[in-house]
Amino acid sequence: MKFMMHMNVKGGPYQMEGWSQDDVKGMMGFMDQFNAELSAKGQLVSAEGLVSPDQTRIVKANDDGSPVVTDGPFAESKEFIAGYWIIQVASAEEAYRIAAKASTCPGQGGKPMNMPIEVRAVGEAPKTD
């Protein structure tokens, strides 16, 4: 089963405003090690960090099919998705264990952030034979 896990963070550029270089290095080291462990177990399909909301745009088609680009999408929200993983595991319970570990990523002062990780199964398109 494939699952998407994504980090929901609050405020600032990935909550790192005011962090020391050591704190940033600690967080990045944790993420590198976490991804390496998933990869070694054959569970990592992909993982990426995302740019902050101020660099995000909403695009929809005009009546003629041309793009209409607006700022967004989180103008009123204090939470945004900072990054994601696609993992392949045998069960939802395994995905939850992995998400709990991701949640412990160290933050300022090395303290675990215990940030929310949304876990969602990747759907499969219905057969159209």
List of the chain residues with pLDDT < 70: 11-15, 72-78
Domains of the chain by range and CATH? 2-121 (3.30.70.1060)
The residue assigned the tokens 């099919």 is 65
Rounded distance between C-alpha atoms, residue 35 and residue 99, angstroms: 12
* Beta-strand relationship, 117-121 and 44-49: unpaired
Which residues, in sequence order, are bridge partners of residue 4? 86, 120
Per-residue pLDDT at 128: 82
Per-residue pLDDT at 56: 81
The Cβ-side half-sphere exposure at 57, using a 13 Å CA radius, reads 6
Can the peptide bond before residue 126 be classed as cis, meaning omega within 30 degrees of 0? no
Q: Does the global pTM surpass 0.85?
A: no
